[in-house]
Amino acid sequence: MDQDSHCTAERELLEAVSRITTSSTTNPSDEEENQPKAEISCQVRKENPEKDDTQDSSATLSPNSSMTTKELQEYWRNEKRQCKQIKLLFEIPSTRIVEHHLSKYVMYKIIILQTGSFDSNKSVIERRYSDFEKLHRNLLEEFSEEMEDVTFPKKTLTGNFTEEIINERKLAFKDYLRLLYSMKYIRRSKKFIDFLTRPELQEAYGCLRGGQYTKALEILLEVIGLQERLTRGNPVSVVPTLCAIVVCHKDLENPASAFEYGEKALSRLCVHTSHRYYIPLLETMITLAYELGKDFLSLQEKLEEWKTKKDPIRIFTLKELAVREYVQ
């Protein structure tokens, strides 16, 4: 995150905390009444997100907020950790040639790791030339000015599978990803993040829908770290993945692990109670807490409080929401 955005978010939250925690017996002045409500947002986005993302990426805090001072302080500590700038390094150490029926293509192994320290949680993905090509076309549609000086390795009529061409493309794609990541709006864009995470997430959710919870969990645990690094400025965006992990652990009868990831997801929704996952997650966490012998009264209070404020609507279970993700 840029320094100015970080400072703005901190200042706005502190103002919100002050309004909530300070009791006043006097009526606010006209000037105070006309002030805009503070918004908590760690990201300035160029693209227009989907409706749900728009609602979830920022939350309005008002003097009527149900959050306690302790919850606000914890939320801000999490936000500061989320907003800390992370720099990623892209390496393409190897390739493999795949022959499938009548098609033949090269898969490029991409290693993504955090710079500045030893990264034991590096992410490894594979993409083919056509995946890079599709990403380039999509980015040109939205970021034509930013992409003006970005070159893309073109296909050749012959020799695409020679060692020389493959090695040239390895270096070219490494530089290509590094350059894209260096541009703020592009590295935060859904199209760039989808290129690096969507194929794995689609596979994981496909396994989840098929009842292959062990395989789904394995993939989800691999991708969640990368997804969190790529979306540091928008922590709510990883809630569906965290909830899918909860579902897998729960169905594999690992309630303690399910509760652990549920707490991570719930912490990202503490000021996003209108998020479609909030109530199903609360209900699941109450069940897990009861099963584990944990205190569930605070969770139950939040659920009842939400129900008194909202009109009765159809609420899906956490598992029902999870199986709907990435359905084509």
The domain ranges of the chain are 87-188, 198-324
Round to the nearest angstrom and report the end-to-end CA distance of the chain.
Answer: 33
Q: Which helix (H) or strand (E) is 107 found in, with range? A: strand 103-114
The pLDDT of residue 19: 45
Closest by CA to 79, choosing from 22, 184, 18, 1, is: 1
C-alpha–C-alpha distance, residues 99 and 103, integer Å? 6
C-alpha–C-alpha distance, residues 236 and 257, integer Å? 20
Q: Provide the token pair at 81.
A: 């950790």
The pLDDT of residue 100: 84
The pLDDT of residue 26: 42
Segments of the chain with pLDDT less than 50: 1-10, 13-14, 16-65, 82-83
pTM beyond cutoff 0.75: no
- Residue 284 is which amino acid? T
The SS3 assignment for 234 reads coil
The pLDDT of residue 134: 97
Q: Which fold has domain 87-188?
A: PX Domain (3.30.1520)
In terms of CATH architecture, what is 198-324? Alpha Horseshoe (1.25)
Tokens 């965006």 appear where?
A: 237
Q: Which helix (H) or strand (E) is 38 found in, with range? A: strand 38-40
